[in-house]
A and B are shown apart, each in its own frame.
Chain A
Amino acid sequence: MSTRLLLLVLASGLAVALTGTLGGCPAIPCDPNTCPDPNCPDPNCPDCNEPDPNAVAKTLHQRIFEDVLGKTAYEGTADSCLICHSDHARDILESAHWKWQGPVTNIAGLEGEIHGKRDLINNL
């Protein structure tokens, strides 16, 4: 083993020994009964020092709203959803569900013309 690698292994071993953790949580699966880190970033590892029996795990989007965006409430498509999902939004603008019309393929003589729900006539 090279000297540099040996030093790295010793250093990380020392770090584990001093703090009892590697990267914040124990390297082994977090056991709430033994985890010494109250700020364990593993969302499935509850606060070991004061586990709350009534706590409901936050959903992914609740964690994103509250912990990442710092928002307590939904603020509408533009100010909430599009912060992360603007790519999907641009895709939507090109879709049939959005436009309610599209290039005709199934009516002889109208191929390529833009028609659809917006301008068809039915008996309903």
Chain B
Amino acid sequence: MSQFLSQVGPVLSRRGLLAAATITAAATLTIPSVAEEATDISKLPRVKQALVLPPFLPVHDQVAKGGPKIVEVTLNIQEKKLVIDDEGTELWALTFHGSVPGPMIVVHEGDYVEVTLRNLPDNVMEHNVDFHSATGGLGGGALTKVLPGEQTILRWKAIKPGVFVYHCAPEGIMIPYHVVHGMNGAVMVLPRDGLKDAQGKPFTYDKAYFIGEQDFYVPRDAEGNFKKYEVPGENMSDALEVMKTLTPTHVVFNGAKGALTGDNALKAKVGETVLFIHAQANRDSRPHLIGGHGDIVWETGSFNDVPATNLETWFIRGGSAGAMLYTFKQPGIYAYVNHNLIEAVMLGATGHVVVEGEWNDDLMMQVMKPSPIPA
């Protein structure tokens, strides 16, 4: 805890005090904030949100029905062994709700999220959760530390619309260790009146997918083979050495190489508008839809900002989530990749989208099939 606080910086510096004085003197706060209204929380309706495994999102309304609610979710922390590639490489993953990434939570600006965080009894480590969408208490991390067998309940108000990462952040060296062993997920806070395009026109999406990108750092033995371990945390000293190199051995979507391919490829139809949410809790990425585009992109994940349009590739800063919208125009197979192609092909950062529909010759046509060059 102290190690982390020292990086946050002493708030009571002279600079900090001067800044505080300036704001008080100004009197007029220029950014109207939902946080300013005092709400009687006891009168708000409560709804339970059933979390689903990624890449899917929980059932939700795009335009909020009614006023602010308290959305109840339960996150059961499970330490479990996963196979993360097609060579049988194993990893003791630390997971929210059994999956890497953890499940997506969807609410509207002004809602409250009440999280029951359970550290299941078979686990061996202390865990907590830091929501980038929350305010105060180290994102909730300070107030949610649970030992195996314990649970805690935290309620935070969604005051900023956008997509945000959440991750475990126990203490010191455990923070990066937990995050790169799978312990992260994302939240989407929709504007109450839904999403709007770059012209400010409201639109809706037909489907939404959550792609959680994960960098893994798996130690190798003297012969260069990935090591296997018996229990969670046993790899700690070896893993820290690999982590120090800042070079992952795996960069994968949905927890494993190929997890979003073959029978588990994403699906869509020509004419459908699909929202792709991309989260990377630790490391930069640059998603690209091969064969398509980012029609509307909130690269930083902030829905109040006017989105970028018609991008070939966009940038997801490590420690953040972004959202992209595409309306499919051609059927076939698309690859959704981290466009560092070494990471995409060699480290596993590739998913596929299978799209049904009619081919459009106007957009693309094979004018001449590959044939010998005439003499």
Q: Do A and B bind each other?
A: no
- B residues sitting closer than 8 Å to A (CB atoms) are none
- A residues sitting closer than 8 Å to B (CB atoms) are none
